[in-house]
Amino acid sequence: MRDAAFWILALILLAGALVVVSARSLVRAAFGLTAALTATAGLYLLLTAPLLAAVQILLYTGGVLTLVVFAIVVVGGEATGGKFRKPFPAAVAAVAVFATLARVIPSLPAGAPRGGLDAGAAIGASLFFRDYVLPFELLSVLLLSAVLGALLLARKDRPE
Amino acid sequence: MSLASVLLVAFAVFAIGLYGVLARRHAIAVLLSIELMFNAVNLTIVALSWSRGLLSGVVLVLFAIAITVAEIAVGLSLVLLAARRAKTVVLDELSELRG
């Protein structure tokens, strides 16, 4: 059951990734990314990290893709979105990187992993408010500065 | 579901994203491919911390996701700025700084 769910999610993830890099229309690529990110959230659930799955759906699929679709509407992706630059060397580089990464697979410890993170409430309640308070608060400063920076970059009457 | 199978899927997604970064010319398409690579790295970290039973990897990925949202907001506003000033978002045509 778990295995079947894993392989179905992995198939959706890979198919979505292929759509992202090959679709001529950028809107279609954005929807491929939606599928890939949602499948990743499902994988996080299988890896016993439900809080991460929720954050993935809320922030990524909700936030980022709304931004991306909005930017595509403003910039326009239909005319130039389908242009590719030398796909063959890029494919060779990608395959080489994959082969290099996959070389670690045989050296992994065999057998079923211990598994189980017992995450969820533990992260929210104890970790963020005890062990990781400072990074958590710094993160809010970073988000604020990113919002201000994005506003400054995108406004029309920008002082030079 | 073993650690090796999750890692293989994550590596494949990373390689696909790398292909997208190298082969596509539209700035937003390159940003989407970067998101794919980033997602693959997150999946790798979560899978490794799952196999060890550690929580720290999950916390790391939580912070990384929040930082990516900030990065995408700034990156997309840069794309909007390029579209307004240079009248193009095709990366090969944004050559103002080429020596």
Q: Give the helix ranges, DSSP H, for A112-160.
A: 121-122, 133-154
Return the pLDDT at A39.
95
Position A102 in a domain? no
What is the per-residue pLDDT across A43-96, written as a single tens digit (0 to 9) for each? Answer: 999 988 888 899 899 888 888 788 888 888 887 766 555 567 778 888 999 999
Q: Which residues, other chains included, contact A42 with Cβ-Cβ below 8 Å and sequence gap of 6+?
A: A5, A9, A12, A53
Point out which residues pair with B24 in neighbouring strands.
Answer: A84
DSSP-assigned letter for residue A104: T
Q: Which of A36, A101, A153 sits opposite B74 (nearest CB)?
A: A153
Alpha carbon A76 to chain centroid distance? 23
Q: Nearest 5°: CA angle at B50, between B49 and B54?
A: 50
Position B27 in a domain? yes
CATH number, position B36:
1.10.287.3510
What is the per-residue pLDDT across A84-124, written as a single tens digit (0 to 9) for each? Answer: 777 888 899 999 999 999 898 888 776 556 556 665 555 55
Model ipTM value: 0.90
Question: Does one domain contain both A69 and A138?
Answer: no
What is the per-residue pLDDT across B9-52, written as a single tens digit (0 to 9) for each? Answer: 999 999 999 999 999 888 888 999 999 999 999 999 999 888 88
Chain B contact for A132, CB < 8 A?
yes
Q: Which of B13, B72, B79 sits opposite A14 (nearest CB)?
A: B13
Domain count within chain A: 2
Structural domain harbouring A151: 120-160
What are A96's two structure tokens? Answer: 């080489």
Helix, strand or coil, per DSSP, at residue B30: helix
CA A138 – CA A131 distance, rounded (Å): 14
What are A13's two structure tokens? Answer: 């993830």
Domain count within chain B: 1
- In terms of Cβ atoms closer than 10 Å to its own Cβ (0-12, 13-18, 19+), residue A133 is exposed
Q: At what angle do helices B27-52 and B3-23 cross, to 10 degrees?
A: 170
Chain B contact for A31, CB < 8 A?
no
Contact B4, A105 (CB under 8 A): yes
Q: Using CB atoms and an 8 Å cut-off, which of residues 60-79 of chain A contact chain B?
A: 60, 63-64, 67-68, 71-72, 74-75, 77
